[in-house]
Amino acid sequence: MNKENVKLAIAPIGWTNDDMPELGSENTFQQTVSEMALAGFTGSEVGSKYPRDPAVLKPYLDIRGIQICNAWFSTFFANGEREKTIEDFTTHMNFLHAMGARVIGCSEQSKSIQGTTLAVLDKKPIFTEEEWRLTVEGYNELADIAAKKGMRVTLHHHMGTAIQTPAEIDRFMESTNLNVGLLYDTGHIYYSEGSQQAMLDVLTKYLPRIFHVHLKDVRDEVVAEVRANHLSFLDGVKKGTFTVPGDGVIDFRPVFKILDDFGYKGWMVVEAEQDPALANPFEYAVKARKYIRDNTGL
């Protein structure tokens, strides 16, 4: 892959899980970003332990050669919380812009069960026509707000949300304006559909509108356990649903080839939340970095 086009980042969620702060509570912010740099990454997303003042955060990252590339943002348009969502988004966008990021990864969290004890594969939320309308209008508005600062909005399709399956992604992408992008996540599509082909189909279909990529591998045996025992999304994470590229069932070589052939420009982010007590974050970061180097030349 072209080093001019593609940069590599890793998400701090492997060190400290924002949804379950007890996972990795012992890992400090400075240790996390030091180990990212030591593993060979040049970018990071933002975790709960990161200082939110750019004047404080930037020096910690600059000295380690790390740049912020994105940070999760929860939207609640379907719930009717348009004004608050836009107000919070503007604050979030300004922080990311000050940090040098140009992409904002958003997830529509109305009705989401990803942080609950509900069975993730049985109780997935479904939007009504009105909820779809509110979500689409909201994302069109966010994309226009971001464009004024030279930034791009993406939707992070996610397990346990109402925009999870390829059909739901299709509806969202077909309904929104072309400046609304997709945060393509290998792990969430594979988890949802159990299929490498479905994962590649979404990638191929929306290449021109994929502005950010999450590289996440999946362990089929854990997904089978989640299904059989009606476990929650977070139960699965603790048991190891996700892992770094090259450690699970997904073959990433066609993913890399499709992105490279298209001329994708942007970040590829390793995002593989596990229990740090069971999967040493630094060890797995090194493993991911080697796999990507071996298969892309980056």
> Which CATH number does the domain housing residue 40 bear?
3.20.20.150
The pLDDT of 13-32, averaged and rounded, is: 90
CA atoms within 13 A on the CB side of 40: 12
User: 1 lies in a domain?
Assistant: no
pLDDT at 234: 95
Q: Mean pLDDT score of the chain, rounded to an integer? A: 97
CA atoms within 13 A on the CB side of 31: 11
> Tell me: the pLDDT tens digits for 184-200?
999 999 999 999 999 99
pLDDT > 90? residue 17: no
pLDDT at 24: 85
Residues 6+ apart with CB under 8 A from 229: none
User: 31 lies in a domain?
Assistant: yes
Residues 6+ apart with CB under 8 A from 153: 104, 106, 139, 142, 143, 146, 179, 180, 181
Which structure tokens are listed for 76?
């609640």
> Tell me: the pLDDT tens digits for 261-284?
999 999 999 999 999 999 999 999
Q: What residues pair up with 267 in beta bridges, in sequence order?
A: 7
Place 19 in a pLDDT band, splitting at 50, 70 and 90.
confident
User: 96 lies in a domain?
Assistant: yes
pLDDT at 245: 98
pLDDT at 21: 80
Cα separation, 135 vs 110, in Å, equals: 9
> Tell me: the pLDDT tens digits for 77-129?
999 999 999 999 999 999 999 999 999 999 999 999 999 999 999 999 999 99
pLDDT at 20: 87
> Tell me: the pLDDT tens digits for 37-72?
999 999 999 999 999 999 999 999 999 999 999 999
pLDDT > 90? residue 147: yes
pLDDT at 109: 98
User: 172 lies in a domain?
Assistant: yes
pLDDT at 229: 98
Which structure tokens are listed for 143?
């994309």
Cα separation, 213 vs 264, in Å, equals: 10
DSSP class per residue in 119-157: -TTT------HHHHHHHHHHHHHHHHHHHTTT-EEEEE-
Cα separation, 247 vs 98, in Å, equals: 35
User: 173 lies in a domain?
Assistant: yes
User: 197 lies in a domain?
Assistant: yes
User: 260 lies in a domain?
Assistant: yes
User: 256 lies in a domain?
Assistant: yes
Domain count, the chain: 1
The whole domain housing 54 covers 6-296
**Residues 236, 272: contact at Cβ < 8 Å?**
no
CA quadruple 85, 47, 38, 293: dihedral, nearest 10: -50
pLDDT at 35: 98
pLDDT at 22: 86
**Residues 32, 246: contact at Cβ < 8 Å?**
no
Cα separation, 104 vs 270, in Å, equals: 16
> Tell me: the pLDDT tens digits for 209-252?
999 999 999 999 999 999 999 999 999 999 999 999 999 999 99
